[in-house]
Amino acid sequence: MQVTSPKADRLLVLGTGGTIAGEAGSQHDNVGYRAAQRSVSDLLGSLPVPEGLTVQAEQVAQLDSKDMDHATWQQLLARVHAAQADERVRGIVITHGTDTLEETAFFLHTLLGDSKPVVLTCSMRPATALLSDGPQNLVDALAVAADPSARGVVVVCAGQIHDPVGVQKVHTYRPDAFASGDEGPLGQVLEGRPVWHRRTARPHQAAAPEALAAALAQPVQDWPWVAVLSSHAGATERAIDAWVAQGLSGLVIAGTGNGTVHEALEAALQRAAEAGVLVWRSTRCVGGPVLEGGASPWPIAEGLNAVKARVALLLTLLARRTTA
């Protein structure tokens, strides 16, 4: 349980855009909208605030989360890191688009630890929709951020509280677009009250402490280039060789099944490794971990899907630069 200062009387809400801030020409249009049109202050509007607390709103970015970038991550990290050290702040809420929410959540989770709650929330319907899900998700996120028993980074959507390690966007349209895999959600928000079923654990790939300083200090254009490549029928080595020639630092292979890799890729992966590229393995499958076994020499990104493995590999390389 976090220790709450008597002065901690506010929630900080950071806006980054997304569908939750989107607008369409008709209240019946749930897909033909433009994301990131309304400010986070507008979204909060007249929404209820947890008793005894005030809300401070700040616009960190205004973008469609399909376009999320490292510069925005760096800004968010710096602002949340500062807020966690501010004794006036009880918790932090981040409004975010659904497309890359799981990546941002994992990035922050890996670097910030389990102190004050950092709650990412979103919507699958724009703000102009007849039945927009954004307001309820935001109210639920505020309730979780205010909960004295909440800690660390979590994702709140459609009444569920998700672990940033296991959560994935698994549906293109439904308001309940996220799932937490085999372990299920951490809890639920029921009538404005968080009900916890379990607590999140730190990921096996947690970044070294040096990665936090590196991520905050290094210009994002100097961050290592880490890519994801899917193994699939008809795969060829050309992409790998081209990326290595252009300065690739790390590569995550989204393998088939139990992280298996097409034989046509193996020689190019070996050449990449000899050139200094760090190669990790994950899976294309939505459910289940990659298990040890088989002859593949490439380390497993244990418990992480390919896009989160990319984040973990990026932070690993950043930490190595700092300690080199």
What positions carry a catalytic annotation? 19, 98
Count of residues in the chain: 324
Please name every residue paired with 57 in a beta bridge, in sequence order, or none if there are none. Answer: 13
Which H, E and C letters describe 150-198, residue by residue?
CCCEEEEECCEEECCCCCEECCCCCCCCEECHHHCCCEEEECCEEEECC
Give the H/E segment covering residue 255: strand 250-255
Tracing tokens 């088939």 back to the chain, one arrives at: 256
In whole angstroms, give the CA distance from residue 227 to residue 208: 21
Burial, 98: exposed, middle or buried (Cβ in 10 Å; 0-12, 13-18, 19+)? buried
Closest CA to 196 of 211, 186, 205, 204: 186
Q: How many CB atoms lie within 10 A of CB 43?
A: 19
Burial, 134: exposed, middle or buried (Cβ in 10 Å; 0-12, 13-18, 19+)? buried
Tracing tokens 């590229």 back to the chain, one arrives at: 277
Closest CA to 42 of 72, 62, 71: 62
Give the H/E segment covering residue 108: helix 101-112
Backbone angles phi, psi at 233, to 5 degrees: -60, 135
Closest CA to 155 of 173, 171, 176: 176
- Token digits for 253? 């292979």
Q: Do 304 and 243 meet the contact criterion of CB atoms below 8 Å apart?
A: no
